[in-house]
């Protein structure tokens, strides 16, 4: 298995400290704080390990504080309810004695019901598109030193954007994107694992969509996730190509709002995502360097 994917699976394999208490480590992704998707995925792993025979169908999370890459994260699970069909869990991620994320998740037994979905929009197949790593490598000599590690970082996912951005010369475009993605190697048939990995990767590219109409890149902005929600509609495999279709209906008050729909290659809508995040231009920063949002 690819080393990068093995490392990610290791991050999601939390250490159990007590029945409802888990501990995880972090991975540096080239940002000054812990990647939000990592904490989200780990929180879902913690919740899932207290549930038997039911799959997560939705989660809602708030990012409260910047995570420290160099310190472990403790996840405390509250077993809120175990009903006949649904199970509810609440998770608090704690670092340095303070919560950095809170998450509520709901799990359900598998049962039949009404079934429909909106169709997947047209998109070129991933084989016709370039990998984002190759595209970023061409910009490496021209990006500022402080963000170079972000462009150099090798990721356990392959991303192939339909319309890749030039971060050095951003232009104003419609607030919508399409990106194919998948993990770098084959995974076991473990649906809870695939859903936790989908939670992890869903934090990529979404908030950025809110910047597209303004002709700015993340290098000119202070950006941070505020909250994140996912609805899992159908079984998913993250080791097969998935299309992430995003749009941003609004940005205001130093916040951007993004929506996402994730489709299988066969056109099945497997998940929906929504996120609001902080977006500030550097010249408008009012808090001391490194201070939390």
Give the mean pLDDT of 246-265.
97
Confidence at residue 167, expressed as pLDDT on a 0 to 100 scale: 80
The verdict on residue 290 lying in a domain is no
Split at pLDDT 50, 70, 90, the class of 251 is very high
The verdict on residue 54 lying in a domain is yes
The verdict on residue 171 lying in a domain is yes
User: Lowest-confidence range among 151-155, 169-173, 249-253, 254-258?
Assistant: 151-155
Contacting residues for 95 by C-beta, under 8 A, at least 6 apart: 65, 67, 68, 71, 72, 73, 74
CATH number at residue 258: 2.40.160.210
Q: Is 96 left (phi over 0), alpha (psi -120 to 50) or beta?
A: left
Confidence at residue 169, expressed as pLDDT on a 0 to 100 scale: 84
* Beta strand residue intervals within the chain, DSSP E: 15-18, 21-24, 55-63, 73-82, 86-95, 98-108, 157-161, 176-183, 221-232, 242-252, 255-264, 269-281
Position with higher pLDDT, 288 vs 217? 217
Q: What is the pLDDT of residues 88-147, one digit of tens each?
A: 999 999 999 999 999 999 999 999 999 999 999 999 999 999 999 888 888 777 777 666
The verdict on residue 291 lying in a domain is no
CA distance 131 to 103: 32
Number of domains in the chain: 1
Confidence at residue 39, expressed as pLDDT on a 0 to 100 scale: 97
Q: 203 an active-site residue?
A: yes
Q: Which two tokens stand for residue 181?
A: 């993605």
The verdict on residue 116 lying in a domain is no
Give the mean pLDDT of 72-81.
98
User: Lowest-confidence range among 29-33, 70-74, 253-257?
Assistant: 29-33
Confidence at residue 149, expressed as pLDDT on a 0 to 100 scale: 67
Q: What is the pLDDT of residues 211-245, one digit of tens each?
A: 999 998 888 888 999 999 999 999 999 999 999 99
Containing domain of residue 84, as a range? Answer: 3-110+127-283
Residue 289, pLDDT above cutoff 50? no
Give the mean pLDDT of 186-191.
96
CB 146 within 8 A of CB 200: no
Contacting residues for 195 by C-beta, under 8 A, at least 6 apart: 44, 48, 55, 56, 232, 236
Contacting residues for 116 by C-beta, under 8 A, at least 6 apart: none
The verdict on residue 289 lying in a domain is no
Q: 122 an active-site residue?
A: no
The verdict on residue 293 lying in a domain is no
Q: 225 an active-site residue?
A: yes
Position with higher pLDDT, 31 vs 81? 81
Residue 41, pLDDT above cutoff 70? yes
Active-site entry in 38, 225, 248, 264: 225
Confidence at residue 150, expressed as pLDDT on a 0 to 100 scale: 66
The verdict on residue 100 lying in a domain is yes
Active-site entry in 48, 95, 106, 275: 275
Q: Which of 282, 281, 277 is nearest to 246 (CA)?
A: 277
Confidence at residue 152, expressed as pLDDT on a 0 to 100 scale: 64
Residue 174, pLDDT above cutoff 50? yes
DSSP 199: H
> Mean pLDDT of all residues in the chain?
91
Active-site entry in 26, 48, 203, 264: 203
User: Is the four-CA dihedral 187, 160, 69, 33 of positive or negative sign?
Assistant: negative
């Amino acid at each position: 298995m690819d080393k990068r994917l093995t490392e990610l699976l290791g991050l999601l394999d939390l250490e159990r400290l007590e029945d409802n208490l888990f501990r995880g480590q972090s991975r540096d992704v080239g940002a000054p704080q812990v990647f939000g998707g990592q904490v989200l995925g780990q929180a879902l792993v913690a919740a899932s390990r207290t549930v038997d025979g039911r799959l997560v169908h939705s989660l809602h999370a708030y990012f409260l504080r910047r995570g420290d890459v160099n310190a472990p994260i403790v996840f405390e699970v509250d077993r809120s309810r175990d009903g006949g069909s649904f199970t509810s869990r609440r998770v608090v991620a704690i670092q340095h004695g303070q919560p950095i994320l809170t998450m509520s998740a709901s799990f359900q037994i598998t049962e039949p019901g009404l079934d429909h979905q909106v169709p997947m929009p047209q998109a070129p197949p991933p084989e016709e598109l370039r990998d984002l790593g190759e595209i970023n490598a061409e910009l490496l000599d021209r990006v500022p030193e402080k963000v170079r590690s972000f462009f150099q970082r090798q990721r356990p996912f392959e991303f192939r954007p339909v319309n890749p951005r030039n971060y050095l010369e951003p232009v104003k475009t419609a607030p919508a994107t399409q990106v194919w993605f998948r993990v770098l190697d084959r995974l076991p048939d473990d649906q809870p694992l695939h859903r936790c990995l989908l939670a992890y990767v869903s934090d990529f590219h979404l908030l950025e969509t809110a910047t597209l109409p303004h002709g700015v890149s993340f290098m000119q902005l202070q950006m941070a996730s505020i909250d994140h929600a996912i609805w899992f509609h159908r079984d998913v495999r993250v080791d097969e190509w998935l299309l992430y279709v995003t749009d941003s209906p609004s940005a205001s008050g130093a916040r951007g709002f993004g929506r996402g729909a994730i489709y299988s290659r066969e056109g099945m809508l497997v998940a929906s995502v929504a996120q609001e995040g902080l977006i500030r231009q550097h010249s408008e920063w009012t808090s001391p360097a490194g201070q939390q949002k």
